[in-house]
Chains A and B, each alone.
Chain A
């Protein structure tokens, strides 16, 4: 398993000091492997350390101790710029609150990683293509405030896909959406995964997690359960049945 692993976490710990004397041990030794092409849900109650894990996996933060290898590279030894380069080229982020820049229109938001990616070559075409993939080819000039939550999240997914990343990281991507929009977003993730892309999703909703292929449950800063999804749900089918159509 380990030789093909895209992500390899060994004994990861992370402690936060909040305020003066409050020390929060968010991760207490996490071991986890994720291979290419997987679709993993990370679940757990709040305070279980799943967000901290997400940040470390996404190279937004570095662990205190332990080893995290991303595509064979030990992340703990990298400097700020190298981490930024990984986030730019190899990881696509999707957040619960979408995190689009309100002043930019959809197309410009999608282009954002290319602004920092150096390769400005046919920027516009690539951004348009990414928007078409998420079904927003006709909404390129709209600003986030002129779009529904589901549409904003699709823009965010298009942005995440722009640099053709090895890993798509989604942090509660359906948390702020109604059930129909949620199903649409999940359908996009499932399609991306079927095309071979690795997707890791943090969620606390069991029915969302059941769309993935594997569920990792965390509790008190360690992995408690790690199991494949036996009865996998397909978002496409649910949409066809009219999920949330009348809601």
Chain B
């Protein structure tokens, strides 16, 4: 029996029992739609996590101070002062073109901001001139400060887009003055304020929130200014951030950075290092392991409904074989072999599940569109891979659950089948 004949027969017998076929198919449709939608949501969530991390800049290696451990007493890491701007310069000089960019940051805490006649509170961070390259974060207006401003501890600032609109509304703050204030208690009684004026030289592009923390609300000043003018920690930095040339180069660069710092800090045993090097890839893979489990779980829920759909297929195929016993007898009498009967019923089952699979993909896609409307933040992704797997699985379900009924049909004895009433 040729495939075309089998296929035509399959379509025909499905078309004869329209209601029954569509109800049976519904099981597969719902199953496939569930898998597609669930996996799409899972993938979307994992994509979102990944995007969030990469929005902090890609291929990043972060060096931060590690508290020294002595006699099982451990100092607080944030207070450590063992990373310096010189460390950054040394890495930059030694690795040269081996890295894409490097910057060093010093947190200067929260300050009261006064500008454009308004008050606001925001985080102030000291950064070096390559911050925009490292973080993939250019300015929307004005320019980022450069080496000169850093060398001379100038009181210039680049502010986040939210800070800019909060203080200055729609007017361009570039060139305006930003006043940083900190109130402290005078031991002799009463409050006194430190007031420092900064000139705004640029506004960053908007990036949105990360893990519920709005990154567009911050003030960037030169690291040296943060050290000498704002914090008084004249040497140390909180972190050195290196951008590797590519994702593949990250492991190598991480090792290089560790070597340079160990040598500079005169530490022979890496276990005693007074700093830690964090590779963004490691963070990413840890997170993707989590989201992959999540996606798998969602997919499994869809898979169960697909399994139930498959059992429905098997059930209806058994009924169909039973009903058509006489037809099977006739086909055998005119020369149909076992494998002809087998393939006829298999193709029928696969046609049912295959059609169900295609409709399920459409339904699954519709569901993701609706979910996207409701939960606009999640980048829901139906990948070609998901679609291929869904089609493959639904065809496989047709074969698996259609096989037993088809074998029963093929094994019928022609005479008994012909006598069947």
Contact = CB atoms under 8 A, between A and B. Distances in A.
A115 B5 contact: yes
A100 B330 CA distance: 8
A104 to B, nearest CB: 8
B264 interface: no
Contacts of B331: 112, 116
A99 interface: yes
Chain B contact residues (Cβ within 8 angstroms of A): what range?
20 to 34
23 contacts: A60-B333, A60-B415, A60-B418, A61-B415, A80-B338, A81-B337, A84-B332, A84-B336, A84-B338, A87-B335, A88-B336, A95-B418, A99-B330, A101-B327, A103-B13, A103-B16, A112-B331, A112-B334, A113-B335, A115-B336, A116-B1, A116-B336, A120-B2
B334 A87 contact: yes
B265 interface: no
Given A61-B415, A103-B12, A103-B16, A85 B335 contact: yes
Contacts of B5: 115
Query: Sorted from nearest, which 6 A-B pairs have the closest CB atoms?
Result: A88-B335, A116-B335, A84-B337, A113-B334, A60-B414, A99-B330
Nearest to B421: A97
B256 interface: no
A116 B340 contact: yes
Contacts of B329: 99
A117 interface: yes
Interface string A159-171: 1000100000000
B123 interface: no
A116 B415 contact: no
A36 B236 CA distance: 111
Interface of A: 55, 58, 60-61, 80-81, 84-85, 87-89, 93, 95, 99-101, 103, 112-113, 115-117, 120, 159, 163
Interface of B: 1-2, 5, 12-13, 16, 326-327, 329-340, 413-415, 418
Contact of B335 (A99, A101, A103, A117): A117
Given A85-B335, A101-B327, A116-B1, 20 more contacts: A55-B415, A60-B418, A61-B413, A61-B414, A80-B337, A81-B339, A84-B338, A88-B336, A95-B418, A99-B329, A99-B330, A99-B333, A112-B330, A113-B334, A115-B2, A115-B5, A116-B331, A116-B335, A116-B336, A120-B2
A116 B340 CA distance: 8
B236 to A, nearest CB: 86
Contacts of B337: 80-81, 84-85, 116
Nearest to B411: A80
B419 to A, nearest CB: 9
Nearest to A100: B330
A99 B418 contact: yes
B310 to A, nearest CB: 26
A164 to B, nearest CB: 13
A88 B332 CA distance: 9
Nearest to B337: A84
B326 A89 contact: no
Nearest to A169: B333
A154 B292 CA distance: 66
Contacts of A103: 12-13, 16
Contacts of A61: 413-415
Nearest to B419: A51
B344 to A, nearest CB: 10
A85 B333 CA distance: 10
Contacts of A55: 415
A202 to B, nearest CB: 14
A158 to B, nearest CB: 12
Contacts of A95: 418
Contacts of B13: 103
A55 B338 CA distance: 18
